[in-house]
Amino acid sequence: MKLFPWQKQKEFFAVEEKERIVEAIRAAEARTSGEVRVFVESRCRFVDPLDRAQEIFFQLKMNETELHNGVLIYVAVKDKQVAVFGDEGIHQKVGEPYWNDVLKKMLFSFRQNNIASGIQQCVHEIGEALLFYFPYNKDTDKNELPDDIVFGK
C-alpha cells in the first residue's frame, strides 16, 4: 500500500528513452521470428534476478511462442540487478556464455549511467543472434508478443 496513493510513481525512463527501447525491439523483431520483451521494476528483493526473470517470462506467456525463441531482458533499477532469460529454442543455440557476454555489455553501460542505452544495445545484440538462428520468414512469421516495455513496481 502506498503511503500517498495520489502520488504518481516516478518514471524509470524519459519518453524518448522508452521510444528508443521500443523501436530497438521492433527493429530486432522485424528481421527474425524471435520475440524480445523488456521488463523493468524497482527492486528484486530476496530473489536471484535470473529466477525473477524466469518467473516473469512465464507470467508473460513468453514460453508460448511457436519456436520457443522468446527472450526477456529483466532490469531491477534500484537494486541494480539484471538478467536475460531465453526460451529453450534460442538457449540451445547460443548457450550460457552468450547470455553472460550480453549481460556484461549491458552492465558496462549501466555503470556509465546509460541504462536505456544499455537495454537498447542488449536488444540489438539479442536481435542479431535471433536473426542468425531464426531468420524472418514473410510467409509464416507474425508478431506473437507485444513490443512495449513492461513496468513492474
pLDDT of residue 10: 58
Ordered by where they begin, the domains of the chain are 15-133+145-151 (3.10.310.50)
Angstrom distance (rounded) from CA 85 to CA 49: 10
What is the CB neighbour count within 10 angstroms for residue 15? Answer: 8
Whole-angstrom Cα distance, residue 149 to residue 19?
9
pTM score, whole prediction: 0.90
Per-residue pLDDT tens digits for 33-76: 999 999 999 988 888 999 999 999 999 999 999 999 999 999 99
Taking alpha carbons only, the member of 95, 81, 42 closest to residue 73 is 81
What's the pLDDT score for residue 3? 43
pLDDT tens by residue, 99-148: 999 999 999 999 998 999 999 999 999 999 999 999 998 888 888 898 99
The predicted structure's pLDDT at residue 80: 85
103: helix, coil or strand? helix
For residue 138, the model assigns a pLDDT of 83
Share the mean pLDDT of the chain. Answer: 90
